[in-house]
Structure 1
Amino acid sequence: MSRTALRICPLCEATCGLTLTIDDGRVTGARGDRDDVFSKGFVCPKGAALGAVDSDPDRLRTPLVRVDGELREATWAEAFDAVAAGIRPVVERHGPHAVGIVLGNPNVHTMAGALYPPVLIAGLGTRSLFTASTVDQMPKHVSSGLLFGDANAIPVPDLDRTDHLLLIGANPLESNGSLCTAPDFPGRLKALRARGGTLTVVDPRRTRTARLADRHLAVRPGTDALLLAALAHVLFDEGLADPGECAPHLTGLDDLAAALRDFTPEAVAPACDVDAATLRTLARELAAAPTAAVYGRIGSCTVPHGTLASWLVDVLNILTGNLDRPGGALFPQAATDRTPRPAGPGRGFALGRWHSRVSRHPEAKGELPLSALAEEIDTPTDEGEPVRALVAVAANPVLSAPDGDRLDKALGSLDFMVSVDPYLNETSRHADVVLPPPPPAQSPHHDFAFNTLAVRNQVRYTRAAVPLENGRMAETEILARLILAVTGMHGADPDAVDAMVIDQTLSKAVREPHSPVHGRDPKELAALLTGADGPERRLDMMLRLGPYGDGFGADPDGLTLEELLAHPHGIDLGPLRPRLPQPLKTRSGKVELLPGPIAADLPRLRAALGERPAGLVLVGRRHLRSNNSWMHNVPALTGGSNRCTLHLHPEDAGRLGVRDGEPVRIKGAGGEVTAPAEVTDAVRPGVVSLPHGWGHDRPGTRTRHAATDPGANVNQLLDGSLLDPLSGNAVLNGVPVEVAPLGAAVTETLGALT
């Protein structure tokens, strides 16, 4: 008999509410939940295909353990025994930093992935932490840390109330938005235009989002920071800079004006290939709009000046008086945020507290660049131990990191590797133990990270839509047992992990003068928690201690888990509201407009005024029906426009002798790949585009559908040496490449920036 169940979609950052149809314990249909307080029935093709994602026959159902060189099915007990036996000797002989941790993007899309990796990192005590953030959004974290003192204090555009939205390096009609959680992002952009607002898109490609815009500026890849600096220069030069109500919370305004003096539109225009008059007009329009918001995303992060571009996005919002203002860019307030502390000076944000062993890359937000993982494994030095063992959680860096061939070989040299992954993929095939989590419908869901980035304050929670299949283990229990196995507590009750976190959190909360539970007994508070298991008790604790919580009885009308469960479609907490100065944690207690590391990096941007690409440069692109490398094994989400082709402009195709549909060779500093050519004027001349997340052609994987159309791994064109120096983020866009028909030779020397 059919029934329905609610589930928040975990397949992208939009976090849409779904109504699932369940037949005999299987998801047979998915549609948008019309009563969801946030998404209101919107669903994209990924969410509609959740049943196919859930029932993929290639998903692993039991653990795998390597025996005599081969991965074989094993019991859960055997798998965790093998993890403890493999990791602990490495720690004891070589120290905790010899064990690396790699966290992939899917961790922020699951409840378990949010709750347990921080405990794993702290318990293991390693500094060898690598995540997908350094091939994605780390520049935004770093710029926010330097500006606001908190790397996670990221203002988001107030999409539903703004009058002028400037998007740079973002294509939300296909990505559904990122670092800006907004179900039905396309509908919100159309509503902006319908109410008379203006949409400006800066992108070297004429994306679906660009086609919707009032103005599309086809900027030269990698020059986003220059363009933004020119806009800020105009605001100062023409007396248009007016921070408005934000002014009392700023420091360094005059220094900022002086630092941007050289970035005139006339100086910037030749570099970014947008004429000076257009730049001046855009700056004036932003200043004149009743409200405006500037929003930059992955295209402006994965470039040589990613941190500077991210910083300048917020600088423009500040200079136009739109930071912390309805219709501008505001700081969301999630229900599970910590109790807001009183405004005032904080500890600030530091970079480079330690460095990578080989290339001496500085840490950022506790992480080392994912691009450095291979060399940290395969390169001996006189300083410190190489990474000898690896814990990979929902990570496939062989496809997502630069120079996958080198990393592929490096992973094969490890003493031990454990992977938490539903698939035997390009990375997990190297593991000695693979621990498969259950499908999404068999897990509960709450968005811890994305609610801190949402365009409207709200809170939702869905329990598992279907029970765990026999033989499966909950992802929360997998990660709890993994923590115990690698920290020398193998065999202990996994509930002890949640109990420890609860005790530590409550013990700290009762000591904080601003906490609603100040001075109370932690054990008494723990006894008041509700929930079916440890993860739910932790969620209840965070809700009750949070900004909307009941404070364990201090506010009888406040949030609790019981209250949330009584509202299965979620609870709306209202539009974003001004919050300054409370979110600031800088040492000055103010927004520090020109932090030292930013000022020190500006000469590098100034030097870029004279740079021009000598040949073709590469950019990536997103597809609506996939998310990185996750979904290429689901037939419903492949085919059609979701293809791994190389976009190139007709002028470049004619010059190179390339015909539409024919295979071409693409050569970069890290290697060479082959892909079909797709000749289109959607890219500007001099630019080629290849999507991210493909390359499913390595032996030893078990993703049969993906292998039928493997595509090309764009990251193999990169050698990992190009990084944004402040954040350690990989440079994935604006990279020089050579292209030739498959039968022709590419030149030996790549076109460089000159």
Structure 2
Amino acid sequence: MLQVIRDARAREEEQARLPVKTHHRACTLCEAMCGVVIETQGEQILSIKGDENDPHSEGHICPKGYALQDLHNDPDRLRTPLEKVNGQWLPIDWDTALDKVAARLVDIQRRHGPDSIAGYWGNPSSHNLGLMMASGTLRKAIGTRNISSAASLDQMPHQLVSYLMFGHSQLFTIPDIDRTGYMLMLGANPAASNGSLMTAGDILKRLERIRERGGKVVLVDPRRTESARYVDQHLFIRPGTDAFFLLGLIRHVLDMGLTKPGRLRELADNWEALEPLFDGVSIEQASARCGISVDDIKRIAEDFANAESAVCYGRMGVSTQSYGALNHWLMLVLNILTGNLDSPGGMMFTTPAFNKAQSRPMGSFNTYQSRVRGLPEFDSYFPAVTLAEEMLTPGEGQVRGFVCVAGNPVLSTPNGRMMDEALEQLEFMVSIDFYLNETSRHADIILPPTGPLEHEQYDIVFNMLAVRNLARFSDPVFEAPEGTRCDWDIVQGLAQRIQALKNPDAEPGRPMPSPEQILDHGLRTGPYGKGFSEWNSGTPVEHEEPLSLEVLKRYPHGLDLGPMRPSFPGYLFTPDQRLRLTPTELVTDLGRAMAELRGDQPEQLMLIGRRDLRTNNSWMHNSQRLVKGTDRCALLINPTDAQRLGLVSGKQARIMSRTGELMVKVEVTADIMPGVVCLPHGWGHDREGVELRVAQSNPGISVNDITDDQVVDVLSGNAVLNGIPVSVVAA
């Protein structure tokens, strides 16, 4: 025992002699890209704080930033491949693991066809440079059409509308929040999300600045969310009816002659066909459907149209409902009619430094359909709601093997119990994940990558979503421990083995350049490859040298390349380089909404979701500092409904849908509108075989055990996670 104590003291003394190092990075736990300063000594993290010199976040971080150390130090994080042998997890060396995975996948495809393998990419992929750059190689090697991602549980309708209107699936419209005079937010909760499809450090300060400069912020949501305290007005809306509210706004703008499209009229096609599409809209009918008064609809429409600059922005609440794609089109129509698209203070586009995705036409829609339900592909991805049914439905093309990359579809896709059942009966499954979670527990082999502080960082995706043009590269904080592999190496190694098995006589391909080499080439050939403006305190400083990785490394706090700027017609990738105002697919879906507008209002209790600032994804629930505190899985219900149903705060209730039921704790609150109940996303860690000690100590319940995989946005196939019919009874 004395020797053990002496050894521990010796290690502590050796650690204390090591130099203290300072590292600058962006937090990877949400979209905001807030700058952090991490101090380390050897392998120990001494402190994490906000980077006051970061031009994007100005020193702001939320509680998640401090939890980066919890993810890095987590004893439950896997660091060596595991293989399931007779129900037991055993360590396996990397080369053997990759060989086995490749052999099993290729064997299944040889026996059952290329589409017998499915793949799923989760949202942590978006934060990972190597994984983003390597994923296409793996997809090509596997060669299956059954690929899905977390996008169809979130923002895919937004991207579909960009493809149909601009000819490019990766053109994201971003609110110019720093210059707008009027912001209308639908189904968005930036106080919890830190800004979603609106990457903005310290988003709440940015909202406050709108009001400080004399502007106005209006929030429309079935729940009085955390964001409501930062806006001028919050209005309740019935779940799933945002399309009718938007129709009422557009109708009033047209009736009052408030249109002022400016240069957009010359850039758009089919202008004469747009206004007649809304002839059958009655503001009174729209009000009756959405629950917002006629007077409020008219006032908002007039204030929006008369503002010097305005932006209508919507997020998860409008994407994950039955009119997801139509909502995004109607929001763009409102912005276009009032001249607030591609204009300062309105909806704009970033010009990211690594701009390969936005330099040429990209995208596809409905060129083929899923086997079981006939749902459309988008960008060569199927909606994630197809995964379980493709695994469970017998016949030619049945999915029998599964590759899951940085995802947990058991908790994140509708009807999670069905997903559990589907994964359990597969012939083979591999997870690229460093947790043994609700999904990876079904795998035969788990390939754990290094952690986020053990590889380089450049945010390809979130620079495309930022409210200013930004760039930042960060070296790893820690060297990857011996015997570990990063996502890039895992994915490339697996893809090479699959290709070699499928084409044994093929000549060896040229070695792939590293992620840093690819990034450097993209920067040099991108929009700042002939020079750039560095914005400091609102003043641009011109640099004639091309932006390269070497140059970018001189800016450890990040490089501000200036505000968004008008991008049309350069960002119009349609065949005639014109803005498509009335895509046939969206006009057809408008007919569906118009028919419902004239129908009867269903009287049902509707379920919506919610997220929490500290735990907005399931993979954050193994951090004690993030999950501590009050129970976050309570069912929110309005006092009127609670009295009618005999429900009491703190007591148990049973909530039921077509797909199942849950026992929940009730919280009665006026912050939820009558007729609506609310449960959070991402919980439910009580399944057998999960090895997440903190998460299991506070497992919560999975709302996706009662969401419905058969209810989707008809046009896009995106999951419906808001507006689920349910019934609730006292337990």
Query: Deviation of residue 277 (structure 1)?
Result: 1.4
**Farther off after superposition, 566-575 or 688-697:** 566-575
Q: Does structure 1 retain, via aligned residues, the 8 Å contact 2:170–2:357? A: no
Query: Deviation of residue 226 (structure 1)?
Result: 1.1
Match of 1:37 in 2: 55
Per-residue CA deviations over 1:613-651 (Å, capped at 9, x if unaligned) read: 322100001100012211111100013356111111111
Aligned equivalent of 2:561, options 564, 568, 573: 573
Match of 1:366 in 2: 380
**Local SS of the residue matching 2:222:** coil
Indicate the RMSD between aligned Cα atoms, in angstroms.
Answer: 1.9
Aligned equivalent of 2:148, options 130, 135, 145: 130
Aligned equivalent of 1:454, options 466, 475, 479: 466
Q: Does structure 1 retain, via aligned residues, the 8 Å contact 2:103–2:501? A: no
Letter in 1 for 2:433: D
* Matched ranges for 1:382-531 at <5 A: 384-488=396-500, 499-500=511-512
Aligned equivalent of 1:21, options 39, 50, 60: 39
Match of 2:536 in 1: none
Query: Deviation of residue 440 (structure 1)?
Result: 1.4
Quote the Cα distance in structure 2 between the aligned partners of 1:709 and 1:641.
Answer: 11
* Matched ranges for 1:90-169 at <5 A: 90-169=108-187
Match of 2:673 in 1: 684
Given the alignment of the two structures, is residue 704 of structure 1 paired with residue 722 of structure 2, yes or no? no
Query: Deviation of residue 491 (structure 1)?
Result: 13
Match of 1:748 in 2: none
Quote the Cα distance in structure 1 between the aligned partners of 2:594 and 2:706.
Answer: 27
Q: Does structure 2 retain, via aligned residues, the 8 Å contact 1:231–1:279? A: yes
**Local SS of the residue matching 1:141:** helix
Quote the Cα distance in structure 1 between the aligned partners of 2:410 and 2:175.
Answer: 34
Query: Deviation of residue 587 (structure 1)?
Result: 2.3
Match of 1:591 in 2: 579
Quote the Cα distance in structure 2 between the aligned partners of 1:347 and 1:55.
Answer: 43
Going from structure 1 to structure 2, the CA distance change for 1:242 and 1:339 (only over 3 Å counts) comes to same
Quote the Cα distance in structure 2 between the aligned partners of 1:144 and 1:340.
Answer: 12
**Local SS of the residue matching 1:647:** strand
Quote the Cα distance in structure 2 between the aligned partners of 1:644 and 1:155.
Answer: 33
Going from structure 1 to structure 2, the CA distance change for 1:582 and 1:245 (only over 3 Å counts) comes to same
Quote the Cα distance in structure 1 between the aligned partners of 2:649 and 2:192.
Answer: 23
Match of 2:549 in 1: 561
Going from structure 1 to structure 2, the CA distance change for 1:310 and 1:260 (only over 3 Å counts) comes to same
Per-residue CA deviations over 1:559-580 (Å, capped at 9, x if unaligned) read: 1111011221122111110010
**Local SS of the residue matching 2:219:** strand
Query: Deviation of residue 652 (structure 1)?
Result: 1.0
Match of 2:74 in 1: 56
Going from structure 1 to structure 2, the CA distance change for 1:347 and 1:17 (only over 3 Å counts) comes to closer
Query: Deviation of residue 60 (structure 1)?
Result: 0.7
Quote the Cα distance in structure 1 between the aligned partners of 2:726 and 2:577.
Answer: 45
Going from structure 1 to structure 2, the CA distance change for 1:379 and 1:649 (only over 3 Å counts) comes to same
Match of 2:267 in 1: 249
Q: Does structure 2 retain, via aligned residues, the 8 Å contact 1:19–1:32? A: yes
Q: Does structure 2 retain, via aligned residues, the 8 Å contact 1:443–1:475? A: no
Quote the Cα distance in structure 1 between the aligned partners of 2:27 and 2:509.
Answer: 27
Quote the Cα distance in structure 1 between the aligned partners of 2:364 and 2:442.
Answer: 35
Quote the Cα distance in structure 2 between the aligned partners of 1:335 and 1:428.
Answer: 35
Quote the Cα distance in structure 2 between the aligned partners of 1:573 and 1:642.
Answer: 42
**Farther off after superposition, 270-279 or 479-488:** 479-488
Going from structure 1 to structure 2, the CA distance change for 1:7 and 1:682 (only over 3 Å counts) comes to same
Quote the Cα distance in structure 2 between the aligned partners of 1:110 and 1:348.
Answer: 21
Match of 1:354 in 2: 368
Match of 1:221 in 2: 239
Match of 1:535 in 2: 515
Match of 2:23 in 1: 5
Identity %: 43
Query: Deviation of residue 310 (structure 1)?
Result: 0.8
Per-residue CA deviations over 1:322-366 (Å, capped at 9, x if unaligned) read: 11111111110100003976xxxx868542111100111111221
Aligned equivalent of 2:393, options 358, 379, 389: 379
Per-residue CA deviations over 1:422-447 (Å, capped at 9, x if unaligned) read: 10001001111101112211121110
Going from structure 1 to structure 2, the CA distance change for 1:303 and 1:78 (only over 3 Å counts) comes to same
* Matched ranges for 1:625-704 at <5 A: 625-641=614-630, 643-704=632-693
Match of 2:14 in 1: none
Going from structure 1 to structure 2, the CA distance change for 1:355 and 1:169 (only over 3 Å counts) comes to same
Per-residue CA deviations over 1:468-501 (Å, capped at 9, x if unaligned) read: 1232212221121122233336999xxx98944x
Q: Does structure 2 retain, via aligned residues, the 8 Å contact 1:671–1:719? A: no
Letter in 2 for 1:481: G
Quote the Cα distance in structure 2 between the aligned partners of 1:187 and 1:151.
Answer: 31
Quote the Cα distance in structure 1 between the aligned partners of 2:377 and 2:502.
Answer: 30
- The normalised TM-score by structure 2 is 0.93
Q: Does structure 1 retain, via aligned residues, the 8 Å contact 2:455–2:486? A: yes
Per-residue CA deviations over 1:22-76 (Å, capped at 9, x if unaligned) read: 1331323211111122222110110121111211111111110122332211111
Query: Deviation of residue 151 (structure 1)?
Result: 1.3
Going from structure 1 to structure 2, the CA distance change for 1:171 and 1:642 (only over 3 Å counts) comes to farther
Going from structure 1 to structure 2, the CA distance change for 1:358 and 1:369 (only over 3 Å counts) comes to same
Query: Deviation of residue 93 (structure 1)?
Result: 2.1
Given the alignment of the two structures, is residue 738 of structure 1 paired with residue 718 of structure 2, yes or no? no
Quote the Cα distance in structure 2 between the aligned partners of 1:498 and 1:537.
Answer: 14
Per-residue CA deviations over 1:227-246 (Å, capped at 9, x if unaligned) read: 11211111112111111122
**Farther off after superposition, 66-75 or 300-309:** 66-75
Q: Does structure 1 retain, via aligned residues, the 8 Å contact 2:25–2:556? A: no
Match of 2:317 in 1: 299
**Local SS of the residue matching 1:115:** helix
**Local SS of the residue matching 1:167:** strand
Letter in 2 for 1:450: F
Aligned equivalent of 2:201, options 183, 194, 197: 183
**Local SS of the residue matching 1:688:** strand
Query: Deviation of residue 666 (structure 1)?
Result: 0.9
Letter in 2 for 1:471: G
Quote the Cα distance in structure 2 between the aligned partners of 1:113 and 1:276.
Answer: 49
**Local SS of the residue matching 2:663:** strand
Letter in 2 for 1:691: P
Letter in 1 for 2:416: G
Going from structure 1 to structure 2, the CA distance change for 1:498 and 1:8 (only over 3 Å counts) comes to farther
Query: Deviation of residue 252 (structure 1)?
Result: 2.2
Aligned equivalent of 2:590, options 602, 605, 609: 602
Query: Deviation of residue 264 (structure 1)?
Result: 2.6
Quote the Cα distance in structure 1 between the aligned partners of 2:358 and 2:157.
Answer: 25
Query: Deviation of residue 119 (structure 1)?
Result: 1.8
Quote the Cα distance in structure 1 between the aligned partners of 2:29 and 2:567.
Answer: 30
Quote the Cα distance in structure 1 between the aligned partners of 2:55 and 2:498.
Answer: 41
Given the alignment of the two structures, is residue 65 of structure 1 paired with residue 80 of structure 2, yes or no? no
Q: Does structure 2 retain, via aligned residues, the 8 Å contact 1:65–1:82? A: no
Query: Deviation of residue 321 (structure 1)?
Result: 0.5
